[in-house]
């Protein structure tokens, strides 16, 4: 090992931080200018970030066009001049279309209310005191209200068919039902895959590995193209429902693998103890093993939820009017052609808000679970 | 590690259900009853057989029903079944292709081959770019310099919380919004970016590049092979197997091969003539957007994997290396990275599998990858079942090949224990 041992004298290690080096100057020196290389990195980064920030601000704020004459039809000449920056007028004109799609304009308060119900249910689900049947009842009530609001046809609300739904409510619905229905499926498949019954195990393995081996878009494609072929004539589901089914099947495979990981991590003594108390298989699983397994894998499940929320945008490819598709259609109009970036930044900000808050919640939960243990 | 994505690195081996012995009763048939183990009653065995028979019958019945209705539906729609359509002539043009494709002359089989090659192209390019960018960002997030660390953190958070499809269409839209070729941005000498994509210098018809690439591949494989032999203790190469010698060979041999082959060695540099470029080669807007978008998105996840890997190496290792008098670079290369790789490789391989699956989003920007070609093939011929079969087989094959490769690499970096 003489090869790795130096014989030259090494320079002395840097002095420990002087306790007198407190305050802003000390903080700056420690974190930004601790050495020559660190100072160089700081300067280069400042230059780079400054340049980027200037370019962005110049485009998005200083040279931006905030409104254009809209009557009788939008006149976007102001956005098309050589020194025009971002055309935020597009968002001003189109935000309701991007958010709610083709939902009848006068009825869009119903879609907005549905979105609000979803948004208020999410933080409630994050509250650990409510976990249990209470939360399930809350969700059932909330989702029932959403369906009444979106469909209408009762209580004096006009009927709005499914193919007019669009934008954020559709995205939230696909994501919420995707998780809610995939979770029970995944629990069953995870149990099946760790079961000793060879037939059950083989079927679960085939399902999980097949789905995990192919892209989500091909699952969605199958759901939209193949599904009608599988069913006898006259029996058919709507396009949205088929996409939802595809998402549930896809999510179920990934979730089941995560849950199986949790099942593996529950000590064997737990189920043995339950068995010695005289509990049968299903009771052991329901009261003893599953609660522990699910708690263990909550953080990765939340990561999967974030992934699913983002993946719902793929339904755009099979022609469903979700948030991303609404953003894309908003700029397809001749008047607005060529202003894509603004619409996508707006849509991206909405996705970011949802995913980032889920990620923060997940990180907090992970920390708390680690502390509890 | 806080990877937010569908990380599929849970172990694949089938599991004993946590010592839940009651379950074993149902497999009494396949297991010999050992002394001291639970006694199986004949009632359990019979119920296990009955359950499995019922299950198989139920699945078979549903399967038969689905196949029967599908066949009936296909017949009533006048769609023939089977793969004979592969030899039919295609009339649609394909924009990006490595091999010649003439609409009206070539067949669906050739179109599918082009799609497969395009899928592999995109996946390969993205895997290389996202690994390099991701490794840098991941290491930079651990920098003691707070400005660098925080800006890389912001990059990761911003990128991974926005859908990849949105990012793809965003970059595609941005490239289409760029000025026309006559006002193209010059990135470097001979590199232009405009709304027609990225124009770059090329070498003849690509044969020279192909020869150089092939030689490089041979050099790399030879080195890996030699390293394997040395590790097994069969041959000692000593200093011959060092990084400088590898770099010299990796640069000189491809150049020599190209010179010997007598192919064009003068780069064909694009120049602006009138309204468009002459010479050089083009990375189309579709391919550029796809590679840029997928690389940026995946790099955020790779960065998190790399960061978690480096953080996973106990700090005592670095301290011990420094106590031995090793410099920071040697410490990184000989102590930190080999141990970090063990943590990094498994999640990284599932990330690579994700890239291959995500490359099917090419259909959203109009790049003819395998999925896009099958998609238009199905709308032309109506042979949905065959198309979906092709997709599933192709993606499963690629995924299995990549997992096999990564598993092989993983074994070579894994901890060797007695």
Query: Between B199 and B26, whose confidence is greater?
Result: B199
Q: CA of B371: which chain A residue's CA is closest?
A: A218
- Render the burial of A238-270: b for 16+ CB within 10 Å, e for the rest: ebbebbbbbbbbbbbbbbbbbbbbbbbebeeeb
Average pLDDT over residues B184-200: 79
Q: How far apart are CA B12 and CA B21, in angstroms?
A: 21
Contact B170 A41 (CB under 8 A): no
Contact A251, A282 (CB under 8 A): no
Which of A196, A213, A266 is the closest to B396 by Cβ? A213
Instruction: Note the pLDDT of residue B32.
Output: 41
Chain B residues with CB inside 8 Å of A298's CB? Answer: none
User: If we measure between CA atoms, which residue out of B344, B79, B258, B94 comes closest to residue A228?
Assistant: B79
Q: Three-state SS string across A171-239, please?
A: HHHHHHHHHHHHHHHHHHHHHHHCCCCHHHHHHHHHHHHHHHHCCHHHHHHHHHHHHHHHCCCCCCCCH
Q: Do A196 and B74 touch (CB under 8 A)?
A: no
| Residue owning tokens 């000989």 | B334
Binned at pLDDT 50, 70 and 90, residue B263 comes out as low
Name the pairing type of β-strands B197-200 and B276-278: unpaired
Measure in Å the smallest separation between the Cα of A90 and chain B Cα atoms: 15
Q: What is the largest CA-CA distance in chain B?
A: 89
B19 with A261: Cβ contact below 8 A? no
User: How far is Cα B68 from Cα B213, in angstroms, rounded to an integer?
Assistant: 51
Cα distance between residue B71 and residue B68, in whole Å:
5
Q: For residues B26 and B55, is the Cβ–Cβ distance under 8 A?
A: no
Judge: A4–B330 Cβ closer than 8 Å, yes or no: yes
pLDDT bucket at B163, cuts 50 / 70 / 90? very high
Between A232 and A322, residue with greater pLDDT: A322
What's the confidence (pLDDT) of residue B155? Answer: 93
d(CA A184, CA A256): 9
Query: What is the Cα–Cα distance from B190 to B269, expressed in whole angstroms?
Result: 6
Q: Which two tokens stand for residue B225?
A: 């092979």
Q: Sort A197 into a burial class: Cβ within 10 Å, 0-12 / 13-18 / 19+.
A: middle
A308-311, long-range: CB within 8 Å, 24+ apart, which pairs? A308/A175, A308/A178, A308/A179, A308/A247, A308/A251, A309/A171, A309/A175, A309/A351, A309/A354, A309/A355, A309/A358, A310/A351, A310/A355, A310/B161, A310/B162, A310/B163, A310/B164, A311/A216, A311/A247, A311/A250, A311/B163
CA distance B405 to B395: 15
Alpha-carbon torsion A373, B4, B6, B8, what sign?
negative
In this prediction, residues A66-93 reach a mean pLDDT of: 75
- Mean of pLDDT values over B61-84: 78
Residue A282 pLDDT greater than 80, yes or no: yes
Q: For A225, name the nearest residue in chain B, comparing CA atoms only.
A: B384
Name which residue leads in pLDDT, B295 or A336: B295
Q: Return the residue in A8, A14, A50, A229 with the most chain B beta carbons within 10 A, the one to mutate for interface testing.
A: A229
**What gap in Å lies between CA A241 and CA A370, rounded to an integer?**
39
User: What's the rounded Cα separation, in Å, for the pair A108 and A117?
Assistant: 14
Cβ-based contacts of A193 with chain B (< 8 Å): 14-15
pLDDT at B46: 74
- pLDDT at residue B60 greater than cutoff 80: yes
Residue B266 Cα, gap to closest chain A Cα (Å): 35
CA distance B296 to B168: 10
- Residue B358, class by beta-carbon neighbours within 10 Å (0-12 exposed, 13-18 middle, 19+ buried)? buried
End-to-end CA distance of chain A: 42
Find the helix or strand (DSSP H, E) in which A292 lies. helix A290-296
Tell if the CB–CB gap between A362 and B164 is shorter than 8 Å.
no
Q: Do B146 and A32 touch (CB under 8 A)?
A: yes
d(CA A340, CA A202): 48
Per the CB < 8 A criterion, the answer to whether B155 and B268 are in contact is: no
pLDDT at residue A18, as a whole number: 65
According to the model, what pLDDT value does residue A41 have?
87
Mutate to test the interface with A, among B10, B75, B81 (most CBs of A within 10 A): B10
What would the pLDDT profile of A113-144 be if each residue is shown by its tens digit? Answer: 888 988 888 888 877 777 778 888 888 888 88
Q: Which of B2, B3, B5, B6 to mutate to test the interface with A (most CBs of A within 10 A)?
A: B6
Q: Which residues are registered as beta bridge partners of B282?
A: B199
Residues A111, A112, A115, A117: is their CA dihedral positive or negative? negative
Of A129, A219, A128, A142, residue with least CA distance to A176: A142
Using DSSP, state whether B199 is helix, strand or coil: strand
Mean pLDDT value across residues A209-231: 84
Binned at pLDDT 50, 70 and 90, residue B10 comes out as very low
Contacting B residues, span 86-125, partner chain A, CB-CB under 8 Å = none
The answer to whether A317 contacts chain B (CB < 8 Å) is yes
Q: Is the pLDDT of residue B36 over 50?
A: no
**A196 φ/ψ angles, rounded to the nearest 5 degrees:** -90, -5
Q: Tell me which residue of A118, A120, A227, A115 sits closest to A165, measured CA to CA.
A: A115
At A137-179, the pLDDT tens digits run 888 888 888 888 888 777 777 787 778 888 899 999 999 999 9
Residues of B in contact with A352 (CB under 8 A): 158, 161-162
Measured between beta carbons, the chain A residues lying within 8 angstroms of B145 are: 31-32, 34, 38, 41-42, 45
Taking residues B334-356, report their average pLDDT: 88
Q: To the nearest whole number, what is the mean pLDDT of chain A?
A: 84
**Rounded Cα gap, residues A284 and A194, in angstroms:** 14
Cβ atoms A161, A152 nearer than 8 A? no
Q: Concatenate the DSSP letters of all residues of B64-106 into one string.
A: HHHHHHHHHHHHHTTPPPSGGGGGSBP-S--SS-SS---TTTS
- pLDDT at residue B5 above 70? no
Residue keyed to tokens 């539906």: B73
What mean pLDDT comes out for the span B135-149? 89
State pLDDT tens for residues B293-329: 999 999 999 999 999 999 989 989 989 998 998 887 8
Q: What sign does the CA torsion over B63, B64, B66, B67 have?
A: positive
Test A215 with B170 for CB contact under 8 angstroms. no
Q: Could you give the count of Cα atoms lying within 13 Å of A370 in the half-sphere of its Cβ?
A: 7
Give A359→chain B minimum CA distance, Å.
8
CA of B82 vs chain A CAs: smallest distance (Å)? 16
Interface A:B, Cβ pairs < 8 A = 244
Identify which of A214, A257, A260 has the shortest CB distance to residue B391. A214
Tell if the CB–CB gap between A217 and B360 is shorter than 8 Å.
Answer: yes
**Does the beta carbon of A56 lie under 8 angstroms from any beta carbon of chain B?**
no
> Ramachandran region of residue A239, left (φ > 0), alpha (ψ -120 to 50) or beta?
alpha
Other Cβ atoms closer than 10 A to B233: 7
Tens digit of each residue's pLDDT (9 = 90 or more) over B177-191: 887 777 777 777 778
Rounded Cα gap, residues B73 and B50, in angstroms = 34
pLDDT (tens digit, 9 = 90+) per residue, A337-351? 777 788 899 999 999
Give how far A152 is from chain B: nearest CA, Å. Answer: 31
Is the CB of A229 inside 8 Å of chain B's CB atoms? yes
**A29 part of contact set with chain B, CB < 8 Å:** no
| A206/B contact by beta carbon, under 8 A | no
A243 min Cα distance to partner chain B (Å): 16
| pLDDT at B133 > cutoff 90 | yes
- Pick the range with the lowest mean pLDDT from A241-245, A311-315, B188-192: B188-192
Cα dihedral sign, A88-A92-A98-A99: positive
Between CA B205 and CA B187 the distance in angstroms is 23
Rounded Cα gap, residues A148 and A273, in angstroms? 47
Whether residue A72 has a cis bond before it, omega within 30° of 0: yes
User: B interface mutation test: which of A218, A250, A292 has the most B CBs within 10 A?
Assistant: A218
pLDDT at A107 over 50: yes
ipTM: 0.86
A348 in contact with B, Cβ within 8 Å = yes
Asked if A69 is an interface residue toward chain B (Cβ–Cβ < 8 A), one would say no
CA gap A137, A171 in Å, rounded: 22
B3–A266 C-beta distance less than 8 A:
no
In DSSP terms, B200 is beta-bridged to B281
For A363, the closest of B2, B17, B24 (CB atoms) is B2
In 3D, which of A179, A369, A303, A370 has the Cα closest to residue B9? A303
Distance CA A261, CA A197 (A): 19
Chain B positions touching A4 (Cβ under 8 A) are 324, 326, 330, 334
Q: Given CB atoms, is A351 within the 8 Å cutoff of chain B?
A: yes
Judged by CB atoms closer than 8 Å, whether chains meet at B143 and A41 is answered as yes
Chain B: residue whose CA lies nearest to A327 = B166
Residue A248 pLDDT: 94
Which of B1, B2, B18 to mutate against chain A (most A CBs within 10 Å)? B18
Sign of CA dihedral B144, B147, B150, B151: negative
């Amino acid at each position: 090992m003489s090869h790795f041992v130096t014989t030259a004298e090494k320079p002395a290690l840097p002095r420990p931080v002087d306790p007198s080096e407190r305050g802003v100057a000390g903080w700056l020196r420690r974190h930004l200018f601790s050495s020559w290389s660190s100072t160089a990195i700081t300067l280069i980064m400042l230059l780079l970030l400054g340049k980027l920030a200037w370019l962005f601000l110049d485009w998005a704020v200083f040279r931006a066009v905030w409104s254009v004459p809209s009557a009788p039809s939008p006149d976007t000449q102001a956005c098309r001049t050589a020194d025009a920056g971002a055309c935020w007028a597009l968002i001003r004109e189109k935000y309701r279309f991007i958010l709610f799609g083709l939902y009848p304009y006068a009825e869009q308060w119903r879609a907005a209310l549905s979105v609000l119900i979803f948004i208020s249910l999410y933080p409630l689900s994050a509250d650990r005191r409510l976990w249990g049947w209470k939360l399930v009842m809350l969700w059932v009530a909330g989702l029932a209200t959403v369906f009444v609001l979106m469909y209408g046809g009762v209580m004096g609300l006009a009927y709005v068919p499914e193919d007019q739904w669009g934008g954020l409510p559709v995205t939230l619905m696909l994501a919420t039902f995707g998780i809610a229905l995939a979770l029970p499926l995944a629990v069953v498949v995870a149990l099946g895959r760790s079961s000793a019954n060879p037939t059950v195990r083989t079927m679960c393995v085939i399902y999980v590995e097949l789905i995990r081996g192919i892209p989500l878009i091909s699952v969605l494609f199958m759901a939209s193209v193949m599904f009608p072929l599988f069913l006898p004539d006259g029996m058919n589901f709507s396009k949205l429902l088929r996409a939802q089914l595809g998402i549930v099947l896809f999510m179920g495979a990934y979730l089941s693998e995560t849950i199986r990981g949790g099942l593996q991590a529950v000590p064997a003594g737990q189920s043995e103890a339950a068995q010695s108390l005289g509990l049968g298989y299903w009771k052991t699983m329901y009261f003893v093993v599953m609660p522990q397994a699910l708690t263990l894998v909550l953080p990765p499940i939340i990561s999967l939820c974030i992934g699913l929320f983002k993946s719902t945008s793929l339904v755009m490819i099979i022609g469903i009017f979700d948030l991303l598709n609404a953003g894309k259609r908003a700029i397809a109009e001749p008047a607005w052609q060529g202003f894509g970036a603004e619409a996508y930044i707006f849509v991206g900000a909405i996705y970011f808000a949802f995913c980032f808050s889920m990620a923060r919640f997940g990180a907090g939960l992970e920390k708390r679970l680690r502390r509890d243990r | 590690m806080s990877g937010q994505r569908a990380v599929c690195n849970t172990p694949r081996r089938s599991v004993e259900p946590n010592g839940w012995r009651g379950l074993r009763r149902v497999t009494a048939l396949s297991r010999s009853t050992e002394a001291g183990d639970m006694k199986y009653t004949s009632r359990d065995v019979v119920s296990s057989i009955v359950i499995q028979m019922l299950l198989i019958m139920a699945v078979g019945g549903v399967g038969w029903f689905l196949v029967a209705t599908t066949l009936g539906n296909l017949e009533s729609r006048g769609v023939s079944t089977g793969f004979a359509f592969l030899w039919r002539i295609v009339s649609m043009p394909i924009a990006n292709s490595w091999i010649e494709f003439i609409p009206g002359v070539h067949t669906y089989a050739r179109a599918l081959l082009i799609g497969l090659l395009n899928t592999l192209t995109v996946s390969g390019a993205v895997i290389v770019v996202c690994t390099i960018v991701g490794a840098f960002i991941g290491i930079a997030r651990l920098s003691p310099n707070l400005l660098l660390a925080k800006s890389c953190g912001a990059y990761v958070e911003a990128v991974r919380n926005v859908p990849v499809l949105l990012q793809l269409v965003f970059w595609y839209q941005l490239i289409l919004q760029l000025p026309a070729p006559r006002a193209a941005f010059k990135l470097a000498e001979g590199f232009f970016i405009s709304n027609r994509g990225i124009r770059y210098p090329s070498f003849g018809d690509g044969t020279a590049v192909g020869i150089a690439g092939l030689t490089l591949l041979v050099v790399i494989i030879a080195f890996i092979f030699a390293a394997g032999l040395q590790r097994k203790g069969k041959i000692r190469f000593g200093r011959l197997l060092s990084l400088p010698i590898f770099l010299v060979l990796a640069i000189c041999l491809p150049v020599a091969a190209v010179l010997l082959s007598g192919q064009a060695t003068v780069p064909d540099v694009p120049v602006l003539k009138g309204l468009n470029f002459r010479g050089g080669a083009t990375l189309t807007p579709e391919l550029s957007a796809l590679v840029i978008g997928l690389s940026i998105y995946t790099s955020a996840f790779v960065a998190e994997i790399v960061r978690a890997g480096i953080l996973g190496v106990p700090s005592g290792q670095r301290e011990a290396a420094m106590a031995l008098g090793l410099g920071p670079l040697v410490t990184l290369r000989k102590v930190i990275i080999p141990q970090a790789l063990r943590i990094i490789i498994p999640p990284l391989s599932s990330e690579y599998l994700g890239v291959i699956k995500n490359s099917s989003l090419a259909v959203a920007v109009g790049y003819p990858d395998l999925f896009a070609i099958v998609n238009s093939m199905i709308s032309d011929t109506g042979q949905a079942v065959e198309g979906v079969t092709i997709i599933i087989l192709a993606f499963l094959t690629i995924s299995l090949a990549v997992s096999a490769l990564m598993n092989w690499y993983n074994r070579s970096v894994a901890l060797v224990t007695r």
